[in-house]
Amino acid sequence: MRSDWILDVLADLRSFADANALPLLAEQLDDTALIAMAEIASKDERSAKQIDVGETDQTRGHPVLVGTGRHA
């Protein structure tokens, strides 16, 4: 599932804050957008690393067969 839709929502909120003379809120939303971008990028990196076939399932310590939906 795509996570970057939240960036569009934050941008809309930022525009609202600007249009309604809420500079502190606008600044906070800028910070929030930066955090969201960093977390989305980090999540995407973790997901890419987990695609390797045979990677160990970190919660159970068992090998995972990617794409089968079953644990080996």
Bridge partners for 65 per DSSP: 70
Cα 58 from Cα 32, distance rounded (Å): 30
| Burial 49-60, CB ≥16 within 10 A → b, else e | eeeeeeeeeeee
Cα 27 from Cα 17, distance rounded (Å): 9
Per the CB < 8 A criterion, the answer to whether 45 and 61 are in contact is no
What's the pTM value of the predicted model, to 2 decimals?
0.61
pLDDT in tens, the chain (72 residues): 588 899 999 999 999 999 999 999 999 999 999 999 999 999 877 777 777 645 555 555 544 444 545 443
Task: Report domain extents, the chain.
Answer: 5-71
